Amino acid sequence: MLNIVVCIKQVPDTNEVRLDPKTGTLIREGVPSIMNPDDKAGLEAALRIKDELGACVRVVSMGPAQADAVLREALAMGADEAYLISDRAFGGADTWATSSTIAAAVSKLPYDIVFTGRQAIDGDTAQVGPQMAEHLGIPNVSYAEEIRVVGDSLIVKRQFENSYQVVRVKMPCLVTALTELNRPRYMTPGGIFSAYREKQVTVWARADVPVDDSNIGLKGSPTRVKESFPKALKGKGEVVTLDAEAEADYLVSKLREKFVI
């Protein structure tokens, strides 16, 4: 049976986040916390492999005690075990310290596949997954849009801006998932009850994670955030279907309209 570890993060629902018009900072008060969407796609991919081939799916999260909720959600969707890495010593971590810590925790678990999301919607770095693969010494395939298990390998379709790449990777490996990978299932009511009343979330504190002090928390973080800013809002795209010449004319007229040319 395959062993799959899925790393999930609790993030503020950025669809609900508003900006303070005066300071330009995020107003996080009253914003619901959700499972990071890319991570949820990774979890769904793991659960589909479990449905098809049988697997033990373990979910891991690092965060404060409230992150328990996303782990329970994962259990209610069908994950088998949950682990929360939580200690003040891990606080203030940048991507290096985060990936060092989570990779050390994951190294305590059996795994054939480690799923992470491509990136979290609150930080948008896309660094933690690939860094973890380096720490664990396993291959990393990022931007997965499709996944198939074939023997001892995975066939992964990777998404790029305007092309795809299909790679075959031997397990154990780490895959970073995109929301396009699938449409995650809903929890079941009974799954929720069992997640809270029957299953456990194992909490791993500092002493439980085999990682060097120099690589954790704020002190183990070589980078500092210089400035935070919201993503620039992109206008809605427009799809035009005309013949080639008319399309070119249309494009030119639009570029002129915007004073690009």
Which residues contribute to the site for another protein (CB under 8 A)? 69, 72-73, 76, 185-197
Nearer to another protein, 76 or 103 (CB): 76
Judging by DSSP bridges, how do beta strands 140-150 and 26-27 pair with one another? unpaired
CA-based Rg of the chain, rounded to a whole angstrom?
Answer: 21
Using the minimum distance from each CB to another protein, give the nearer residue, 34 or 144: 34
CB of 179 to another protein, least distance (A): 15
Q: How far is the CB of 187 from another protein (least distance, A)?
A: 5
Dist CA 255 CA 261 (whole Å): 6
Residue 23 DSSP SS3: coil
CB of 66 to another protein, least distance (A): 11
Smallest distance from the beta carbon of 130 to another protein, in angstroms?
Answer: 31
Q: How far is the CB of 71 from another protein (least distance, A)?
A: 12
State yes or no: cis peptide before 189, omega within 30 of 0.
no
Nearer to another protein, 22 or 197 (CB): 197
Distances (CA, A) of 240 to 161, 236, 251: 19, 13, 9
> Closer CB to another protein, residue 199 or residue 206?
199
Residue nearer to another protein on the CB measure, 189 or 237: 189
Q: Which residues contact 81 (CB under 8 A, 6 or more apart)?
A: 56, 57, 58, 59, 199, 200, 202
